[in-house]
Structure 1
Amino acid sequence: MLAIVTESADAKPVIKQVPKPTVKDGFVVVKIMAAGLNPSDLLNAKGSFPYTTYPRILGRDWAGVVEEGPSHLVGNAVFGTSGKSLSFDQDGTFAQYCLIAENSLTSKPASLGFIEAASLGIPLTTAQTMLHRAMVKEGDVVLVTGAKGAVGSAACLLARQRGCRVLRAYRSAEADVNLTSSASTLKSLTPRPDVILETTGNLEVLSACVAALANFGRLAFISAPRTGSKQLSIDVLDVYRRQISLLGCNTLLATPEHAAQQLESIRPDIEAASISENGKQTVTVTLEEAVSFLDGTRPLSGRCIVSFC
């Protein structure tokens, strides 16, 4: 079968002919129909994760059909995401077939095609992790920074489904909060947000978010700078007096089984028209085009899905 393989942390990813995986107890062989291309895949291709073992087939998000395994699963259309395993210490989904644990399968909603389903794994589980950690509840004012991105848009959709008032912050006059000129715009918000879901990893934005929160506010964030300073300057006196909570969210701590449980728990949201439409904002690419993103030849822009259909 064809797959995108990285031989070492210093090697460029390449397309190779490799053996099809063999089914074993507790696992199924899935014929991959589509696989989502995420920023974390680009980082993994650069050797940025110390726990990745080599050689390794890359790819985290996926959708496909069970081809080998228990008879009650064969033929099922399924989808999912990696947690801390696929593409790190187990071969991933940028391949025609992938060996995937039975307990990490989620049935693909009939309303979604394979391309749509493959686009949802990491964005939705990351957004769900943020909402869970921030204890988002009906009636909360929720500000989402980077709301036009894959995780940000998923967070907006899930928060609305929970009855929250959602404010979208990004660099555009169309945003509810326009960050084009300065992140300090956040500090003058009225009313102050109960929850901020910060998806940009920008320290200036993150610092402004801390100051913008209401009393008892919760700030969930998913990223940090990869180069330069990683130190966040905050007024700790203000934080403790207003009982502000800072909550790091990392889906790479989750097992594939937990990721599947997350996807199953938000199935009503996934099947809602709004979530389905979110998954349609994608561009399909070939394996060759995916390699050009992974090796840095081309910049990744938008939501790209490797199609095997």
Structure 2
Amino acid sequence: MRALRFERFGGPEVLCVGEVADPVAGDGMAVVAVRAASVNPSDVMAVSGSLEDITLPRIPGRDFAGVVLEGPDDWIGAEVWGTGGDVGSSIDGSHAERIALPVSALARKPGTLDFAEAATVGVNFVVGWLGAIETAGLAAGETIAVFGVSGGVGGAVAQIARATDAQRIVGVAPHAPAAGTPAAEVIDEFVPFDNDTDVPAEIRRITGGRGVDVVYDAVGGVTTPTTVASLAHRGRLVVISAIGTSTAEIDLHDFYHRELRMLGADSRKLNVTASAERLKRISPHFERGQFRPLPIAQTFDLDHGPDAYLAVTEKKLRGRVAIQP
């Protein structure tokens, strides 16, 4: 089969397309023909060498959607989707014509999504679900502020919060989500993260002086002092990233007097099988139309895979980038 591979770390220029051996469905395994695979910022980071536990040579790519070619009889021909912290890291990834997976990692794709749409869901919604529902325990009637709401994870979290019947959803980002995007349609208020706005004061105004029960921070680092200040008494802060700086200074007297909690969530700790379990929980929301994927800005064939990585690296496109082998 043909695949996108890298043998050394670096920018998109280290990626090359070539022939590799077809994966084989051994005991407990299945082979999926990849119809589409998105390119995430974490894929770019994996190729650059900035993520831990990447072994070389490697086929990159975490998210995928495709059709089962080999495996148990009841799975042959099934349309599936998936993602995993180990995919494209310790096992070969989805930026190829085929991918081998444990049978336990197979999850049926929602019929409401085409392959390209389904391929853009994995990382964003799995880490969104992990952080908002499993880690923070967001419940109906609570308030939430989503920092980075205009991005892939933030947009997913806003939709998850709406499906959870959050009382109020506040989106925070340098720029508001584009009109017509899922995040724009589900947030109740938008607060710009800029030098002219006192974000915690705005959030307290919106929440009647309380602050929010949960902050989901999809940015981290440069936003951390602001997110802590935006929390209500006994509020929970979920952090999944650290941009600009990996350290943050907070007032510990304020932190413990307000009985706050800071929690970390890392989707890379979920392998392809654990991620499939989350996708099975998420799938009914797509089937019912409660969740929608972010728009796809551009698709590339496998020969132009390095260009797809360059597009994500340069951040010039508004929307997701997908490879269709």
TM-score, with length taken from structure 1: 0.92
SS in 2 for 1:72: helix
Q: 1:167 aligns with which of 166, 170, 177?
A: 170
Deviation at 1:68, TM superposition (A): 0.9
Equivalent position of 1:291 in the other structure:
306
Partners of 2:110 and 2:51 in 1: CA distance: 32
The yes-or-no answer on 1:185 pairing with 2:199 is yes
The answer (yes or no) to whether the contact 1:179–1:185 under 8 Å persists in 2 is yes
Partners of 2:196 and 2:322 in 1: CA distance: 33
Partners of 2:142 and 2:154 in 1: CA distance: 17
Q: 1:212 aligns with which of 211, 214, 230?
A: 230
SS in 1 for 2:125: helix
Q: 1:94 to 1:194 in 2, by over 3 A?
A: same
> What are the within-5 Å matches in structure 2 for residues 14-163 of structure 1?
14-82=16-84, 84-131=85-132, 132-163=134-165
**Which segment drifts farther, 169-178 or 62-71?**
169-178
Q: 1:279 to 1:43 in 2, by over 3 A?
A: same
Deviation at 1:280, TM superposition (A): 4.0
Q: 1:294 to 1:138 in 2, by over 3 A?
A: same
Deviation at 1:67, TM superposition (A): 0.4
SS in 2 for 1:259: helix
Identity of aligned residues (%): 29
CA-based RMSD: 1.9
The yes-or-no answer on 1:195 pairing with 2:214 is yes
SS in 1 for 2:169: strand
Q: 2:282 aligns with which of 248, 256, 266?
A: 266
Equivalent position of 2:183 in the other structure:
none
- Unpaired segments of 5 or more residues in structure 1? none
Deviation at 1:183, TM superposition (A): 6.2
Q: 1:248 aligns with which of 226, 247, 264?
A: 264
Partners of 2:99 and 2:196 in 1: CA distance: 45
Q: 1:148 to 1:60 in 2, by over 3 A?
A: same
The answer (yes or no) to whether the contact 1:293–1:299 under 8 Å persists in 2 is no
The answer (yes or no) to whether the contact 2:141–2:165 under 8 Å persists in 1 is yes
Q: 1:19 to 1:183 in 2, by over 3 A?
A: farther
Deviation at 1:141, TM superposition (A): 0.6
Partners of 1:233 and 1:298 in 2: CA distance: 29
Q: 1:236 aligns with which of 246, 249, 252?
A: 252
- Unpaired segments of 5 or more residues in structure 2? 178-188
Q: 1:183 to 1:293 in 2, by over 3 A?
A: farther
The answer (yes or no) to whether the contact 2:159–2:291 under 8 Å persists in 1 is yes
The answer (yes or no) to whether the contact 1:117–1:279 under 8 Å persists in 2 is no
SS in 2 for 1:35: strand
The answer (yes or no) to whether the contact 1:158–1:269 under 8 Å persists in 2 is no
**Which segment drifts farther, 166-175 or 254-263?**
166-175
TM-score, with length taken from structure 2: 0.88
SS in 2 for 1:153: helix
Partners of 1:182 and 1:104 in 2: CA distance: 47
The answer (yes or no) to whether the contact 1:183–1:208 under 8 Å persists in 2 is no
Residue type of the alignment partner of 2:239: F
Q: 1:210 to 1:306 in 2, by over 3 A?
A: same
Q: 1:44 to 1:173 in 2, by over 3 A?
A: closer
Q: How many pairs are equivalent? A: 303
Report Cα offsets for 1:228-249 as digits up to 9, x if no partner: x421100011111111111111
Equivalent position of 1:3 in the other structure:
3
Q: 1:103 to 1:145 in 2, by over 3 A?
A: same
Deviation at 1:181, TM superposition (A): 3.1
SS in 2 for 1:85: coil
Partners of 1:185 and 1:279 in 2: CA distance: 26
